[in-house]
Structure 1
């Protein structure tokens, strides 16, 4: 079982440190990500479900952890998050299923506690 809270904290600290090393590039990246994941014609909830699927498909553990937490914050349910990851499995096969069954489910089980 992954300690997804520790992973989330480590990523936040690492991104902060990287921002200190290269504030121009990281500021631009953060601005772009903020704009892409803001409420628009497509809801933030839907965007986070898309991000969950892409994170699972890409097998990026830190992305999975981050976007599962953000999906809950955006109002997604456990079932919606798992269904989005299941769509990703349809395209990513066994490797995506492995990351969904482990890291993603660990994140769902942990962060869901914050929204009950």
Structure 2
């Protein structure tokens, strides 16, 4: 059964909001770290998101995959760039990374790509 990428993304974002009620300091610190890490510098945000897609696929983190595919598309990455980043993960992670790349990662692109088409 294929998991719905939008439902996973919403579950993750809703979970952050819910946990913020009791652990706001920690969630805020995490979000500040993300903000600092993804701020454009020597490497632009799109490239950082593509790196994150590869890391997510390598680690087989479902929530990370859907979140960073969404953010990569938002940052202007194409389907081809995202899949190429995923294939780098496969070079390191083998079959498990391939399984997530051809299923949930691909489904995430399919689900979110139209959100950013002009």
TM-score greater than 0.5 by the shorter chain:
yes
Q: Which runs of 5+ in 2 are unaligned?
A: none
1:25, distance to aligned residue in structure 2 (A) = 1.2
Aligned structure 1 segments of 4 or more residues deviating by more than 3 angstroms? none
Q: RMSD in angstroms over aligned alpha carbons? A: 0.8
Deviations 1:35-74 (A, max 9, x none): 0011111000100000000000010001000000000000
Q: Please, what TM-score do these two structures have when normalized by structure 2? A: 0.95
Establish whether residue 54 from structure 1 lines up as the match of residue 55 from structure 2: yes
Aligned residue runs from structure 1 range 3-22, under 5 A: 3-22=4-23
Count of residues in correspondence between the two structures: 116
Name the CA distance, whole Å, in 2 between partners of 1:84 and 1:40. 20
Q: Which residue of 2 aligns with 1:89?
A: 90
Q: Please, what TM-score do these two structures have when normalized by structure 1? A: 0.96
